[in-house]
């Protein structure tokens, strides 16, 4: 056989293999770009979030980092009658949140619950870590998805798992949490909530670049609000959540010299958003339980026992913050942290003993 024929045969075989791969990935659709299958596949938020925004039936969106990944959608349905979808992933930055917000259907969404991690607004060089083929339309991106390494890696796993589940086999709690859309990203089975972990996180924390930190945060928040075009969606309800970081988080900010800047930034954010009639800001910074470090996995991640409290706050407005009660809530936070520092002065010493 001549080299030309060998080349032609190679091209034909390659095309057939790629076609089989693409068709298989289309049928399985591991990242839900074309259809939704709940309780069948392993769900990695970073890969399935764009597809869920396109294809899931929702009218309320919960968006943000791991700070909202524990929220119980069944409980949320009870407290706020709705069809909620949780779009969250660990360490989500503001650029990624902007992207996901742009993909959300504004026609069918009535309410957006958006977590605000204030420390994300002073990070340098934020980048979107989502693969372009997952959020850009067009046949080229479809082809990239259907032949991608990530899809090829998950398709066999999802096929086997779905067959196993369809066979009515008993599945472990960990598999249940990793395959159901309501539980997507829920890490309650993966972390240990204990004082030891909180102190360890505190003692080994990295020092931050605090130079001009307030102005960096304000500049980034201005971009954030502008890019999300909140002023265009006056018929939608926005609930911004300031989550309940532990007292140790605020103590660390004091030690590292940027606590005042964080508080000034909160003041700025609240006053920036207060004029909007359709925007609420729910502030849980001053919750009583922030001093109970045994219910945290690190300085910021709260235990599942706090989920009902948080959802109630989202529903009943008791912890809303505005220009009128801002200083009352901040003073309460100051008091909680100061009292904690006095009562736990020895424990806060980084002497190698984390207990």
Q: What is the pLDDT of residues 285-340, one digit of tens each?
A: 999 999 999 999 999 999 999 999 999 999 999 999 999 999 999 999 999 999 99
DSSP sequence for 8-47: HHHHHHHHHHHHHHHHHHHHH-TT-SS---TTSS---HHH
User: How many residues appear in the chain?
Assistant: 355
Q: What is the pLDDT of residue 4?
A: 72
Other Cβ atoms less than 10 A from the Cβ of 325: the count is 14
Q: What is the pLDDT of residue 50?
A: 96
CA 350 to CA 184: how far, in whole Å? 35
Q: What is the pLDDT of residue 167?
A: 75
Other Cβ atoms less than 10 A from the Cβ of 264: the count is 15
CA 43 to CA 56: how far, in whole Å? 14
Whether residue 281 contacts residue 238, with contact meaning beta carbons closer than 8 Å, is answered with: no
Low-confidence spans in the chain with pLDDT less than 50: none
Q: Please work out, in degrees rounded to the nearest 5, the angle formed at the alpha carbon of residue 111 by the alpha carbons of 117 and 177.
A: 65
Q: What is the pLDDT of residue 13?
A: 86
CA 229 to chain centre: 20
According to DSSP, the residues that pair with 86 across neighbouring strands are: 62
Handedness of CA 10, 12, 13, 18 (dihedral sign): positive
- Residue tagged 């969106």 (tokens): 61
Q: What is the pLDDT of residue 256?
A: 95
Q: What is the pLDDT of residue 125?
A: 77
Contacts of 33 (CB under 8 A, 6+ apart): 50, 51, 54, 55, 134, 142, 145
Q: What is the pLDDT of residue 1?
A: 65
């Amino acid at each position: 056989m001549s080299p030309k024929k060998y080349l032609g045969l190679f091209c034909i075989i390659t095309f057939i293999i790629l076609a089989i791969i693409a068709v298989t990935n289309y049928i399985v659709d591991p990242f839900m770009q074309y259809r939704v299958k709940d309780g069948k596949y392993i769900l990695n938020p970073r890969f399935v979030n764009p597809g869920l925004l396109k294809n899931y039936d929702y009218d309320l969106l919960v968006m943000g980092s791991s700070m909202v990944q524990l929220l119980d959608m069944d409980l949320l349905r009870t407290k706020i009658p709705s069809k909620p979808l949780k779009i969250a992933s660990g360490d989500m930055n503001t650029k990624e949140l902007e992207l996901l917000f742009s993909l959300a259907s504004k026609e069918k969404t009535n309410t957006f619950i958006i977590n605000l991690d204030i420390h994300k607004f002073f990070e340098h060089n934020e980048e979107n870590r989502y693969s372009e083929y997952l959020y850009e339309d067009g046949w080229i991106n479809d082809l990239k998805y259907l032949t991608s390494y990530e899809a090829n890696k998950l398709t066999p796993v999802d096929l086997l798992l779905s067959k196993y589940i369809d066979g009515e086999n008993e599945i472990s709690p960990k598999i249940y949490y990793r395959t159901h859309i309501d539980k997507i990203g829920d890490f309650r089975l993966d972390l240990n909530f204990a004082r030891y972990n909180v102190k360890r996180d505190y003692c080994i924390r990295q020092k931050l670049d605090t130079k001009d930190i307030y102005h960096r945060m304000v500049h980034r928040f201005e971009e954030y609000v502008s890019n999300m075009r909140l002023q265009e969606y006056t018929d939608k309800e926005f609930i911004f959540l300031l989550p309940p970081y532990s007292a140790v988080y605020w103590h660390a900010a004091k030690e590292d010299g940027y606590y005042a800047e964080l508080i000034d930034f909160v003041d700025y954010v609240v006053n920036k958003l207060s004029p909007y009639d359709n925007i609420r800001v729910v502030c849980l910074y001053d919750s009583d339980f922030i001093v109970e470090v045994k219910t945290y996995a690190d300085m910021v991640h709260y235990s599942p026992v706090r989920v009902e409290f948080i959802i109630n706050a989202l529903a009943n407005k008791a912890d809303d913050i505005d220009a009128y009660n801002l200083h009352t809530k901040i003073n309460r936070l100051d008091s909680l942290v100061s009292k904690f520092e006095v009562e736990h002065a020895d424990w806060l010493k980084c002497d190698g003993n984390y207990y």
